[in-house]
Amino acid sequence: MPRDGALRRCVTAWDAAERVLLGGLAAGMVILAALQIVLRTFFRTGLSWIEPLLGIGLLWLTMLGALAATGLRKHISMDLVSHLLPPRPRAAAAALVQLFAAFLCARLALAAHAFIGLQRETETSTLLGAPVWVYTWVVPVAFALLALRFVLHAALSAAQAAGRTAPGASADAGRDGAA
Amino acid sequence: MMTIFVILLALLGAPIFAVFGGLAFEAYARDGIAPSLIISELNRLATMPLLRTLPMFALGGYLLAESRAPERLLRLSRAAFGWLPGGMPAVAVVACTLFTAFTGASGVTIVALGGLLLPALRADRYGERFSLGLVTSGGNLGVLFVPSLPLILYGVIANPVESAVTMERLFLAGLLPGLLGILALGLYGAWTAKRGGIARTPFSVRELGAALWAARWEAPLPVLVLAGIYSGTLVLSDAAVITAAYALVVECLILREIRIRDLGRIARDAMTLVGGVLIILGMGMAITNWLIDQEVPQQVLAAVRAHIHSPVTFLLMLNLFLLLVGCAMDIYTATIVIVPLLLPLGKAYGVDPVHLGVIFLANLAIGYVTPPVGMNLFIAAIRFDRPLLVLARASLPFIAVLLAVLALITYVPWLSLVLAR
């Protein structure tokens, strides 16, 4: 199906973007932190913007890492009950759980948006020429994307519960980085 | 009502961060606190420098695990310790423990080492059940050694509550209990070898030299990091940067076993773990603050004190409680929710908070191989393509050994405290 082709390209591009972003972010933090150590040890100096930038880098890593964890279905959970269920009720339970996660991420995105408003009023410091709140935008954006991802997962699980796809199909799709 | 619904969803497998977020929204709404303050807690992650060590150690550990370093380090430890009675199991325990310390008890150990260790153990004529159990549970106590992520997380969470928990003390406290665990598992391996009449492999200086030469690039890293941190000459934040930078340079530039294009995938795997843990921490801090405002720790303390009078009973109940927790929850979530409630209890019963940390981590590490949610069981089941039940049974004797070690760690505080003055 041609529609599938477009979707697949989308998924592949997203997957690649995720790897580039997280790889670049992690490697960038290591390089900056190493630079700071070299400057401190051998030249008894340092760059004042590295420290706060590393802190913001961690926040970005947290949000983008959580986003990747959703795509790979690797979120830490406490699944005690669902693996005892037969496939269809299990898929229904998964749909419910993912819908809840989507709802919650949407609420967190709104809360994060409100938080940025708060930060704009109170935080006056700047980092690399931009006000600090600019860097916080990753939080609402990532939560919104998380909500979207969880909605897609929920739709896949619901289709599975209704018997429209072969059992396990959505899990495989998830592992490929779809949704 | 809403709270019960959220907890129900947690049991059905909702992501923990969403569960915590849901509870935080509930709690804040009840007290009329703006929900944006939940995000303000999450935002505090940026201001905690020690947390930055987590992605760095994870990246370094994952890079090493993906290269052929496990193969070379295994060869080296085999050349060094393989001639001992029960040499191969001892090698397996040491290698798994080291990898668990460097990759943060995430199952990476089984994935990276399992495929090498299992055939090696079987080739030395160790039984299948013993070999499977050993590979699945042999590295668990790696969480007690530097630079394990759970150990660092305990320090990050406990330090603001109990200033006696410094990173230096915590690291030194885990050393002897961890070594005791390695010794106990090693003795069990030696006993199995003796009972099975397994011949010892002769020691060869030439092989040791060749193995050392083959591992010349990777072998210095754990030595540098462990010796540096335990001796106090290397601070944790620098050790983390050195680990990540060293692994990047050696594996990507010098040995070129990891192509730059694979770097993104490996970094994403590592950051999936770190992001997954930190987002729970961010949501968890919002809840912990609320609990402290509501004086919940004091209420728990009063309730426990009404029923438990002696420190020994307290420790016993603690062991049992944490074993149960370990069956249902992973070590990271448990650290984030339980440690803030546990510290006042430990203080009331005269348990040093550093000793408490060692008990806590050792106890929960056993949870990695206890059904129904022991993560190592699932990962090993997939990795070795065996039914879950076979792995659960294979792990039983090892769980028994680990429980005996846990009892010693719990009731002999000297083990944890003699180095952590």
Alpha-carbon distances of B222 from B69, B93, B248, B251, rounded to whole Å: 12, 16, 15, 15
Average pLDDT value for chain A: 86
**Looking at A110-119, A144-153, B283-292, which range is the least confident one?**
B283-292
For residue B242, what pLDDT is reported? 94
Residue of A nearest to B276 (CA): A66
The radius of gyration of chain A's CA atoms, rounded to the nearest angstrom, is 20
CA–CA dist A170, B395 (Å, integer): 32
Average pLDDT value for chain B: 91
| Amino acid in position A25 | L
Burial (CB count within 10 angstroms: exposed 0-12, middle 13-18, buried 19+), residue B54: buried
Bridge-based pairing state of the strands A126-127 and A130-131: antiparallel
- Quick check: A147 pLDDT over 90? yes
- In which band, very low, low, confident or very high, does the pLDDT at A169 lie, cut at 50, 70 and 90? very low
Are A55 and B52 in contact (CB < 8 Å)?
A: yes
Neighbours of B266 (CB within 10 A): 22
Average pLDDT of the segment spanning B65-90: 89
Average pLDDT of the segment spanning B107-124: 88
User: What's the CA angle centered on B150, arms B144 and B155, to 5 degrees?
Assistant: 90
**Beta carbons within 8 Å of B347's beta carbon, 6+ residues apart:** B162, B353
The model's pLDDT over B289-346, given as tens digits with 9 standing for 90+, comes to 888 888 898 999 999 999 999 999 999 999 999 998 888 888 888 999 999 999 999 9
Residue of B nearest to A138 (CA): B43
Are A62 and B282 in contact (CB < 8 Å)?
A: yes
What whole-number percentage of chain B has pLDDT above 90? 65
For residue A172, what pLDDT is reported? 40
- Out of B12, B39, B45, the one facing A97 most closely (by C-beta) is B12
Are B277 and A37 in contact (CB < 8 Å)?
A: no
Residue B6: CA atoms inside 13 Å, Cβ hemisphere, count? 19
For residue B367, what pLDDT is reported? 83
Structure tokens at A26: 């992690």
| Amino acid in position B369 | V
- Quick check: A1 pLDDT over 60? no
Q: A82 contacts in B (CB within 8 Å)?
A: 12-13
What are the residue ranges spanned by the domains of chain A?
2-75+86-161
Are B275 and A37 in contact (CB < 8 Å)?
A: no
Helix axes B69-81, B87-103, angle to 10 degrees: 140
Residue of A nearest to B45 (CA): A59
- Quick check: A95 pLDDT over 70? yes
CA–CA dist A51, A1 (Å, integer): 50
Structure tokens at B160: 């603001």
CA–CA dist B103, B100 (Å, integer): 5
Q: B266 contacts in A (CB within 8 Å)?
A: 23
For residue B105, what pLDDT is reported? 67
Are A75 and B16 in contact (CB < 8 Å)?
A: yes
Q: How far is CA B124 from its chain centroid?
A: 29
For residue A130, what are the β-bridge partners?
A127
**Looking at A19-23, A28-32, B105-109, B115-119, which range is the least confident one?**
B105-109
Average pLDDT of the segment spanning B108-113: 86
- In which band, very low, low, confident or very high, does the pLDDT at B107 lie, cut at 50, 70 and 90? confident
- Quick check: B58 pLDDT over 70? yes
Are A68 and B272 in contact (CB < 8 Å)?
A: yes
Average pLDDT of the segment spanning A164-177: 46
Neighbours of A97 (CB within 10 A): 27
SS3 at position B21: helix
Structure tokens at A88: 């269809």
Average pLDDT of the segment spanning B47-52: 91
Are A30 and B25 in contact (CB < 8 Å)?
A: no
Instruction: Give the DSSP letter string of A104-137.
Output: HHHHHHHHHHHHHHHHHHH---EETTEEHHHHHT
What whole-number percentage of chain A has pLDDT above 70? 89
**Beta carbons within 8 Å of B336's beta carbon, 6+ residues apart:** B153, B157, B280, B281, B284, B288
The model's pLDDT over A56-93, given as tens digits with 9 standing for 90+, comes to 999 999 999 999 999 888 888 877 777 788 888 889 99
- Quick check: A168 pLDDT over 70? no
Residue of B nearest to A25 (CA): B267
A33 touches chain B (CB under 8 A): yes
Alpha-carbon distances of B407 from B265, B319, B328, B354, B359, rounded to whole Å: 41, 8, 21, 16, 9
Are B268 and A18 in contact (CB < 8 Å)?
A: yes
What are the residue ranges spanned by the domains of chain B?
34-417
Nearest alpha-carbon partner for A33 in A61, A9, A7: A61
Q: B382 contacts in A (CB within 8 Å)?
A: none
Q: B244 contacts in A (CB within 8 Å)?
A: 26, 30
The model's pLDDT over B153-193, given as tens digits with 9 standing for 90+, comes to 999 999 988 988 999 999 999 999 999 999 999 999 999 99
- In which band, very low, low, confident or very high, does the pLDDT at B371 lie, cut at 50, 70 and 90? confident
- In which band, very low, low, confident or very high, does the pLDDT at B106 lie, cut at 50, 70 and 90? low
Q: How far is B34 from chain A, CA to nearest CA, in Å?
A: 8
Query: Dmax of chain B from CA atoms?
Result: 72
> A91-94 long-range CB contacts below 8 Å, 24 or more apart?
A91/A157, A91/A158, A91/A160, A91/A161, A91/A167, A91/A170, A92/A157, A92/A158, A92/A161, A93/B12, A93/B13, A94/A153, A94/A154, A94/A157, A94/A160, A94/A161, A94/B13
The model's pLDDT over B215-238, given as tens digits with 9 standing for 90+, comes to 999 999 989 999 999 998 999 999
Residues 53-112 of A with CB under 8 A from B: 54-59, 61-70, 72, 74-83, 93-94, 96-97, 100-101, 104-105, 107-108, 110-112
CA–CA dist B421, B418 (Å, integer): 6
A134 touches chain B (CB under 8 A): no
- Quick check: A9 pLDDT over 70? yes
The model's pLDDT over B242-266, given as tens digits with 9 standing for 90+, comes to 999 999 999 999 999 988 889 999 9
Are B18 and A34 in contact (CB < 8 Å)?
A: no
Burial (CB count within 10 angstroms: exposed 0-12, middle 13-18, buried 19+), residue B78: buried
- Out of A31, A61, A115, the one facing B55 most closely (by C-beta) is A61
Peptide bond into B147 cis (omega under 30): yes
Neighbours of B1 (CB within 10 A): 6
Residue of B nearest to A96 (CA): B9
For residue A170, what pLDDT is reported? 43
Q: B39 contacts in A (CB within 8 Å)?
A: 108, 111-112, 114-115, 139
Are B13 and A23 in contact (CB < 8 Å)?
A: no
For residue A166, what pLDDT is reported? 52
- Out of A33, A55, A70, the one facing B241 most closely (by C-beta) is A33
Q: How far is A157 from chain B, CA to nearest CA, in Å?
A: 14
Instruction: Give the DSSP letter string of B240-277.
Output: HHHHHHHHHIIIIIIS--S-HHHHHHHHHHHHHHHHHH
For residue B378, what pLDDT is reported? 82
